């Protein structure tokens, strides 16, 4: 069925969703099409204010929990029933797009707004959440809000600092949260029925399949490492080449070795990225003494990811010895991959067929709050087509029509999960 036919039979309000998407993109707008909305920043706080307003208009009561999650609640017929949760995040990459995360939050609000307008009271309560710090770049560790409510935070997390030396504890406090009371904001497995997230695909498969929406089968788990390489500083003009302990030369060889290790299994789904590199006290006529770089390594297959990690650790050690350097590797984040619950995939599938879609199934290479929620409850994810698969880039784009189709699928799936 052509997309235009599908958009004609929508229960959700496409114009309202498009309007909200456009309005929210003004909060932290970067150039013509980008967004810079750091987690726990004044601009995210302002954006939360607007989102809270829309949650209220949709018939929800709104709260900010102590992890910095904004949550809107629509009561069900049974107020004590476990909650059906849906949502995503509105924090962005430093130079991000206006769809990543935002589409999940605003289409969830749109779905609840539609229910309220139709006088539908679901059996179970529904909570729409905008999670705190999904992206993770400000404090070097992401998925904070979802890890918080599911009891997956680690010791010392609140002491992590951003580039300006502000701790997460301080940032939470300035945002209006009470970090000393975070246990009060946790959910127990009994209190959550299921979690559903809509997100742009951030990849090219839906565009290739000529489909506006897809069904996610599983999410690759990321491990984030920081590698510190230590050499010895010296004069660039006087130290003979054979006598150098150049940390940058060692780090460069490590980065290339890592790339080769990850590429080794061309059939595999492993991906590896070095996205940050820092040379301490850099000067063009000083031999670099200290270099730090980050590793982002992911796979849906944990064994394969673990094998890659082992290989990179051995290889970095060998390279360090070759150049008389020391290497130290610390783990910042380690989230296991997880498959989406088959029964929720089935619901999404049957609802997409009822809509006349032929939604393909696909794995998510990007991580999402849904990955963390899977530690507490069953979960499902809907993907929406985005142009050329571009994401984490101001050029990110998804059409109003595709977003509306995705939101409709979310609405229908939510009704099935919450019961009406
Ligand atoms: C989150 O945005 C990720 O890196 O997948
Ligand atoms: Mn996202
Ligand atoms: Mn992202
Ligand atoms: Mn993400």
Going from the Cα of 338 to the center of ligand 2, the distance in angstroms, rounded, reads: 17
Ligand nearest to the CA of 35: 3
Say what the pLDDT of residue 35 is: 98
CA-to-CA separations, 187 to 72, 82, 177, 372, 376, in angstroms, rounded: 15, 10, 17, 13, 8
Query: Cα 53 from chain centroid?
Result: 24
Mean pLDDT for all residues in the chain: 96
Going from the Cα of 62 to the center of ligand 3, the distance in angstroms, rounded, reads: 24
Token pair 């039979």 is found at 9
Tell me how far apart the alpha carbons of residues 265 and 100 are, in angstroms, rounded to a whole number. 29
Q: What is the DSSP string of 2-37?
A: -HHHHHHT-SS-HHHHHHHHHHHTTTTEETTTEE--
Going from the Cα of 99 to the center of ligand 1, the distance in angstroms, rounded, reads: 13
149 lines ligand 1 (CB under 6 A): no
Residues facing 222 on adjacent strands: 298
**With contact defined as beta carbons under 8 Å apart, do 262 and 305 qualify?**
no
Burial class of residue 411 in the structure, from the number of CB atoms within 10 Å of its CB (0-12 exposed, 13-18 middle, 19+ buried): buried
For the complex shown, is ipTM > 0.85? yes
222-334 maps to CATH 3.30.70.360: yes
Q: What is the DSSP string of 156-207?
A: TGGG-B-TTS-BHHHHHHHHT--GGGGGGG---GGGEEEEEEEEE--SSHHH
CB contact set of 233 (below 8 Å; sequence gap of 6+): 281, 286, 287, 288, 289
Say what the pLDDT of residue 230 is: 98
Q: Assess whether pLDDT exceeds 70 at residue 385.
A: yes
Q: Does the CA dihedral 199-203-208-214 come out positive or negative?
A: negative
Q: Which two tokens stand for residue 371?
A: 């990955």
3-220+337-418 maps to CATH 1.10.10.10: no
DSSP secondary structure code for residue 220 in this structure: P
DSSP secondary structure code for residue 67 in this structure: T
**With contact defined as beta carbons under 8 Å apart, do 271 and 365 qualify?**
yes
Q: Where are the domains of the chain?
A: 3-220+337-418, 222-334
Q: Which two tokens stand for residue 21?
A: 């998407």
**With contact defined as beta carbons under 8 Å apart, do 90 and 102 qualify?**
yes
pLDDT tens digits for range 98-146: 999 999 999 999 999 999 999 999 999 999 999 999 999 999 999 999 9
Say what the pLDDT of residue 9 is: 82
254 lines ligand 1 (CB under 6 A): no
Going from the Cα of 193 to the center of ligand 4, the distance in angstroms, rounded, reads: 23
366 lines ligand 1 (CB under 6 A): yes
Token pair 């599938």 is found at 349
Confirm whether residue 193 is marked as ligand binding.
Answer: no
Say what the pLDDT of residue 6 is: 73
Which residue lies with its CA nearest to atom 5 of ligand 1?
366
Tell me how far apart the alpha carbons of residues 290 and 180 are, in angstroms, rounded to a whole number. 36
pLDDT band, residue 3 (cuts 50/70/90):
low
Going from the Cα of 103 to the center of ligand 3, the distance in angstroms, rounded, reads: 12
367 lines ligand 1 (CB under 6 A): yes
296 lines ligand 1 (CB under 6 A): no
397 lines ligand 1 (CB under 6 A): no
pLDDT tens digits for range 302-330: 999 999 999 999 999 999 999 999 999 99
pLDDT tens digits for range 140-166: 999 999 999 999 999 999 999 999 999
DSSP secondary structure code for residue 340 in this structure: P
Say what the pLDDT of residue 208 is: 97
Of the candidates 307, 297, 298, 377, which has an alpha carbon nearest to the alpha carbon of residue 337? 298
Pocket perturbation via mutation, ligand 1, pick of 90, 132, 143, 222 by most ligand atoms within 8 A of CB: 222
Ligand 1 atom, smallest distance to 367 CA: 5
Please tell me which residue, 308 or 3, carries the higher pLDDT value. 308
3-state secondary structure of 357: coil
Residues facing 297 on adjacent strands: 223, 272
């Amino acid at each position: 069925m052509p997309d235009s036919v599908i958009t004609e039979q929508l229960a959700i309000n496409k114009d309202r969703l498009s309007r909200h998407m456009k309005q929210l993109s003004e909060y932290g707008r970067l150039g013509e099409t980008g967004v810079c909305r750091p987690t726990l920043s004044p601009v995210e706080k302002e954006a939360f204010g607007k989102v809270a307003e829309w949650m209220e208009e949709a018939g929800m009561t709104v709260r900010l929990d102590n992890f910095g999650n904004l949550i809107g609640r629509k009561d069900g017929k049974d107020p004590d029933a476990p909650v059906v949760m849906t949502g995503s995040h509105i924090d962005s990459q430093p130079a991000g797009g206006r769809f990543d995360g935002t589409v999940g939050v605003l289409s969830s609000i749109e779905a609840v707004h539609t229910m309220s307008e139709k006088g539908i009271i679901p059996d179970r309560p529904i909570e729409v959440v905008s999670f705190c710090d999904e992206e993770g770049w400000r404090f070097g560790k992401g998925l904070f809000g979802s890890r918080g409510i599911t009891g997956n935070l680690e010791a010392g997390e609140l002491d992590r600092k951003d580039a300006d030396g502000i701790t997460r504890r301080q940032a939470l406090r300035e945002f209006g949260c009470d970090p000393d009371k975070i246990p009060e904001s946790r959910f127990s497995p009994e209190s959550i029925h299921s979690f559903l997230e809509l997100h742009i695909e951030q990849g090219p498969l839906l565009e290739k399949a000529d489909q506006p929406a897809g069904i996610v089968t599983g999410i690759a788990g990321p491990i984030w490492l920081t590698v510190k390489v230590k050499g010895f500083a010296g004069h660039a003009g006087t130290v003979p080449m054979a006598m150098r302990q150049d940390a940058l030369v060692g780090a460069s060889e490590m980065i290339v070795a890592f790339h080769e290790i990850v590429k080794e299994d061309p059939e595999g789904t492993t991906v590896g990225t070095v996205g940050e590199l820092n040379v301490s006290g850099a000067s063009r006529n000083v031999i670099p003494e200290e270099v730090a770089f980050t590793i982002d390594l992911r796979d849906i297959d944990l064994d394969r990811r673990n094998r890659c990690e082992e290989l990179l650790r051995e290889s970095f050690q060998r390279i360090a010895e070759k150049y008389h350097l020391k290497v130290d590797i610390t783990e910042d984040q380690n989230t296991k991959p997880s498959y989406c619950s088959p029964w929720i995939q089935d619901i999404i599938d049957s609802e997409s067929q009822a809509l006349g879609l032929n939604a393909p199934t696909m794995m998510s290479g990007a991580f999402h709050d849904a990955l963390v929620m899977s530690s507490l409850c069953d979960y499902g994810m809907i993907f929406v087509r985005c142009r050329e698969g571009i994401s984490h880039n101001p050029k990110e784009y998804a059409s109003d029509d595709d977003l509306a189709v995705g939101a409709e699928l979310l609405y229908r799936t939510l009704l099935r999960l919450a019961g009406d």
